[in-house]
Amino acid sequence: MNLDALTEEGIAALSDAAGEPSWLRDRRLAAFKHTLDRGWPNSREDEFWRSTPFDRRIDVDRDLVTTGSGASAPGGIVDGLELEAAQLRIVDGSVVEATVPTALAEQGVVVADLADALTTHGERIEQLLGQLTTADAEGTGADEDKTIGVNDAAFTVGAFVHVPAEVEVAVPIGIHLHVTQPGAHLPRILLDVGHHAAVTVVLEHTSAAGTDALVDEVLEGFVHDGATVRLASVQSWHDEIQHLSLQKLQVHRDADVSTVAVTTGGATVRLRPETDLVGPGAQVRPLGVYFATDGQWFDLQPYVRHIAPHASSDVLFKGALQGDSRSVFRGNVFVDKDAVGTSTDENNKSLILTKGARADATPFLEIHCADITAGHGSATGQIDALHLFYLESRGIRREDALRLIVFGFFREVLREIDIPGIEDAALAAIEARVEAADLSAVQVNDAALRDAVSA
Amino acid sequence: MADLEIRDLYVEADGAEILRGVNLDLDKGKTIALMGPNGSGKSTLAYAIAGHPAYDLTGGTITWQGTLLNELAPDERARLGVFLAMQYPVEVPGVSLTNFLRTAVNAVNEEDVPVREFMQRLRAEMAELGVEESFLQRSVNEGFSGGEKKRFEILQAALLKPQLAVLDETDSGLDVDALKTVAEGVNRLSGPDLGTLIITHYTRILRYIQPDEVHVMFEGRLVASGGPELADELEAKGYDEIRASA
Ligand SMILES: Nc1ncnc2c1ncn2[C@@H]1O[C@H](COP(=O)(O)OP(=O)(O)OP(=O)(O)O)[C@@H](O)[C@H]1O
Ligand SMILES: [Mg+2]
């Protein structure tokens, strides 16, 4: 079945082949009907797609990859997690491994193929799946973007993570998604964290070299009262991958969420880390780092919706660009009329290393409530000649000085990541980019020279 | 030939001529104090020696131990033993102080000092200069107070062991105790292998660090010189006489 030509029969067959319960089959078909009369995003009309030309960057004329390929996932971050970690590996259209250490299983922690979990936790999944995308969930509604609708209708593989109330999972749960087959991959991840539970999830994305594929991914997460969730999403794709990702979390009373997106791979990566703060006192810290090089296009759209009062959010994304790469930051913060006592801040900083790279930033605030504190900012700049001089004047060679400055730029974000292994992994990914970069082509901003000297 | 020889030096910044024919000799083992009114060009001379990119050397030469510095990059000069403690040390966001110092020490020594050995040395020097351990976690000069920045400049000098130290108003912004600590730090570095050029407005620091000569800069030239007594004279009388005779 081609992603651009989904059919009712095709989707029904997909559901039947997987032996899915009828509610899920019905839901897929309803989602399909909903997407039918909608076109793919049009960058001239759709404000969320304005900066990224959908028709040039995303190819939807691809067959769905619905089965496994026998390939195995390479080592990576998830592989490096501790032995007591629960892990799940998806390769192409199938879950090839799902391991939950006994100690966690006994506490009711589930990390499973969604298809299997339908038998063991069917009721729970029926309550949650699609609530934040297809269904009219209170406050935030359905997602009108067809790229989300097709995942609702035809997701090809899924994972279910459940942490029961009051269970604290000490070691990160690893989910590794590896793509080896060309075509359209529609993975679905459902995350259900009970009240006062605590968990860290590391979601790693890799592909085999040369695999030309579209990955249209949806992660839906429910974070209940007082829970703590750390979510890292690492995009280490090879160069040919087009990746659309919605990571939508619903965050309840006093829950504490922080997310970090580390993006260095992929031809086009469009990330939507979204949070709905639906309970008073909820807080979210969406972080992102990215390093784009020749040919890459990263579109980052963190979205925070303050529905409940006294919640807080603090968005920080930083990226470096070189070659002819592009980044788009379109941050959104929505504050509902009843969200009194909201505190929000939203920032994006880009470092343009070489001529030809471009970063667009538009932080949006949509505020319907007077009694809040809100800030936002964006800055795009080059390496500061004065910083460079200071380091060089201590004997540090230019290339080493540039490296230190670039890492320093990212450190503001990296030092906030409190997920074991992720700070190092992010640093390593960025390091690899910096090592490969042609530092002799780096452009330095000397506008600051005069001001600073006579400070 | 003196170790540092500055001959008929002309320097421009932003198209404006700032230094107009400076001549100065400094040998290792000696200390020269450079004084002069605000805006006379003292920092410009310091930056010109260090290779600051905003300052163009339009005439004359700076020679250090026989090597012409004019065209050398700042890092090359530093590796020849030249060190500038800046009047306004630069905040470099996010760059870890420890990484920065280690990279600098390795570059200047042209060899990788083992981490443990380096950290021992660093901790020892920090203790001597009264810099708290917590600074190891901080970024280069970021959020440092004025006095902390000055102390950190001298900490760098202590680690890099230069042969030419230009101290540009290292004494400004220091409280009395800090001034003493910093001056002692400089004195520990001093010896037959270090030439020191101290730029200052006050004689206070010169009580700790005895200059062999005092020079006065005015409108981009050195217009007067003498022994340590000249500094006292200037402090008492100001620059009126120099202005009048210029
Ligand atoms: N980068 C620059 N661009 C343009 N003019 C400059 C620049 N740097 C310095 N100047 C000017 O050159 C003159 C000398 O400046 P300099 O900083 O060398 O003075 P100074 O003697 O160190 O003064 P102070 O005692 O106040 O530190 C001043 O008029 C200053 O404004
Ligand atoms: Mg000065």
CA–CA gap between residue A410 and residue A429 (Å, rounded)? 12
pLDDT at A337: 95
Minimum-distance ligand to the CA of B52? Answer: 1
CB A324 within 8 A of CB A356: yes
Tell me the mean pLDDT in the region A98-118.
97
Tell me the mean pLDDT in the region A18-26.
96
Minimum-distance ligand to the CA of B42? Answer: 1
A135-139, A354-358, B188-192: lowest mean pLDDT where? A135-139
CB A301 within 8 A of CB A346: no
Give the tens place of pLDDT for each residue, B147-185: 999 999 999 999 999 999 999 999 998 999 999 999 999
Minimum-distance ligand to the CA of B14? Answer: 1
Residue B84, amino acid: L
Residue A367 has pLDDT above 70, yes or no: yes
Q: Which residue has the higher pLDDT, A448 or A7?
A: A7
Neighbour tally for B110: CB within 10 Å: 8
pLDDT at B59: 97
Q: Search chain B and give the residue with CA nearest A410.
A: B94
| Long-range CB contact pairs, A46-53, < 8 A, 24+ | A46/A145, A48/A145, A48/A301, A48/A330, A51/A299, A51/A328, A51/A330, A51/A360, A51/A362, A52/A268, A52/A270, A52/A297, A52/A299, A52/A328
B155 in any annotated domain: no
B229 phi and psi angles, rounded to 5 deg? -65, -25
pLDDT at A227: 98
A309 phi and psi angles, rounded to 5 deg? -70, 160
Residues facing A258 on adjacent strands: A230, A285
Domain map of chain A by residue range? 3-382
The fraction of chain A above a pLDDT of 90, given in percent, is 80
Q: How far is CA A188 from the centre of its chain?
A: 13
Residue A326, amino acid: R
Q: Which residue has the higher pLDDT, A404 or A422?
A: A404
Distance from CA of A318 to the nearest CA of B (A): 12
Q: Where are the beta strands (DSSP E) in A196-280?
A: 198-207, 213-223, 228-235, 242-251, 256-263, 268-277
pLDDT at A447: 74
B232 in any annotated domain: yes
Contact check, Cβ <8 Å, B14/A395: no
Q: Count CA within 13 A, CB hemisphere, residue B73.
A: 14
| CB < 8 Å to A393, chain B | 50-52, 74-75, 77-78, 83-84, 86
Give the tens place of pLDDT for each residue, B39-86: 999 999 999 999 999 999 999 999 999 999 999 999 999 999 999 999
Of A392, A397, A409, the CB nearest to B94: A409
CB of B54 closer than 6 A to ligand 1? yes
CA–CA gap between residue B106 and residue B119 (Å, rounded)? 13
CA–CA gap between residue A339 and residue B70 (Å, rounded)? 62
Residue A140 has pLDDT above 60, yes or no: no
DSSP assignment of A284-303, as one string? Answer: EEEEEEEEE-TT-EEEE--E
Give the tens place of pLDDT for each residue, A309-341: 999 999 999 999 999 999 999 999 999 999 999
Of A389, A396, A411, the CB nearest to B107: A396
Report the domain count for chain B.
1
Give the tens place of pLDDT for each residue, A228-245: 999 999 999 999 999 999
CA–CA gap between residue A407 and residue A288 (Å, rounded)? 14
Q: What CATH code is carried by the domain that includes residue B241?
A: 3.40.50.300
Instruction: Please tell me if residue A431 touches chain B, with a CB cutoff of 8 Å.
Output: no
CB of B41 closer than 6 A to ligand 1? yes
B130 in any annotated domain: no
Q: How many residues does chain A have?
A: 455
Q: How far is CA B240 from the centre of its chain?
A: 27
Q: Where are the beta strands (DSSP E) in chain B?
A: 4-13, 16-26, 31-35, 55-64, 67-68, 82-85, 164-168, 195-199, 213-218, 221-226
CA–CA gap between residue A50 and residue A330 (Å, rounded)? 10
CB B157 within 8 A of CB B85: yes
Q: Search chain B and give the residue with CA nearest A448.
A: B54
CB neighbour list of residue B36: distance below 8 Å, 6 or more residues apart: B42, B216, B217, B218, B239
CA–CA gap between residue A92 and residue B205 (Å, rounded)? 71
Tell me the mean pLDDT in the region A135-146.
66
Report the nearest-CA residue for atom 13 of ligand 1: B39
CB B63 within 8 A of CB B55: no
Distance from CA of A329 to the nearest CA of B (A): 22
Neighbour tally for A65: CB within 10 Å: 25
Residue A246 has pLDDT above 70, yes or no: yes
B137 in any annotated domain: no
CB of A209 closer than 6 A to ligand 1? no
Residue A147 has pLDDT above 50, yes or no: yes
CA–CA gap between residue B170 and residue B183 (Å, rounded)? 9
Residue A455 has pLDDT above 50, yes or no: no
**Radius of gyration for the alpha carbons in chain A, expressed in angstroms and rounded:** 22
Q: What is the number of the ligand 1 atom nearest to the C-alpha of A449?
A: 1
Q: Search chain B and give the residue with CA nearest A399.
A: B75
Residue A181, amino acid: Q
Instruction: Please tell me if residue B14 touches chain A, with a CB cutoff of 8 Å.
Output: yes
Contact check, Cβ <8 Å, A395/B108: yes
CB A245 within 8 A of CB A217: yes
pLDDT at A69: 86
Closest CA to A317 of A263, A391, A372, A244: A263
Distances (CA, A) of B199 to B34, B166, B209: 5, 8, 12
Neighbour tally for B213: CB within 10 Å: 17
Interval between CA B223 and ligand 1 midpoint (Å): 17
| CB < 8 Å to B88, chain A | 452-453, 455
Confidence category of residue A453, pLDDT binned at 50, 70, 90: very low
CA–CA gap between residue A448 and residue A455 (Å, rounded)? 10
Q: Which residue has the higher pLDDT, A270 or A73?
A: A270
The fraction of chain B above a pLDDT of 70, given in percent, is 100
CA–CA gap between residue B223 and residue B203 (Å, rounded)? 19
- Full-model pTM: 0.92
pLDDT at A448: 63
Q: Which residue has the higher pLDDT, A286 or A363?
A: A286
Q: Which residue has the higher pLDDT, A139 or A149?
A: A149
Instruction: Please tell me if residue B108 touches chain A, with a CB cutoff of 8 Å.
Output: yes
Of B44, B87, B200, which is best to mutate to test ligand 1, by the most ligand atoms within 8 angstroms of its C-beta? B44
Residue A220 has pLDDT above 90, yes or no: yes
CB of B38 closer than 6 A to ligand 1? yes
Tell me the mean pLDDT in the region A165-191.
97
Residue B26 structural domain: 4-93+165-245
pLDDT at B244: 86
Tell me the mean pLDDT in the region A43-61.
93
| CB < 8 Å to A396, chain B | 75, 78, 100, 103-104, 107
**Radius of gyration for the alpha carbons in chain B, expressed in angstroms and rounded:** 18
Q: Tell me which residue has tokens 């892990």.
A: A87
Confidence category of residue A450, pLDDT binned at 50, 70, 90: low
CA–CA gap between residue A46 and residue A174 (Å, rounded)? 35
Q: Mean pLDDT over all residues of chain A?
A: 93
Of A385, A396, A450, the CB nearest to B75: A396
Contact check, Cβ <8 Å, A386/B90: yes
CB of B244 closer than 6 A to ligand 1? no
End-to-end, the C-alpha distance of chain A in Å comes to 65
CB of B156 closer than 6 A to ligand 1? no
DSSP assignment of A40-53, as one string? Answer: SP-TTT-GGGTTS-
Q: Return the sign of the alpha-carbon dihedral for residues B64, B70, B76, B77.
A: positive
Q: Which of B11, B88, B92 best probes binding to A when mutated, by most A CB atoms within 10 angstroms?
A: B92
Instruction: Please tell me if residue A400 touches chain B, with a CB cutoff of 8 Å.
Output: yes
B190, burial (CB in 10 Å: exposed 0-12, middle 13-18, buried 19+) = middle
Q: What is the number of the ligand 1 atom nearest to the C-alpha of B217?
A: 21
CB A320 within 8 A of CB A293: no
Give, to the nearest 10 degrees, the angle between helix B176-189 and helix B146-160.
10
3-state SS class at A271: strand
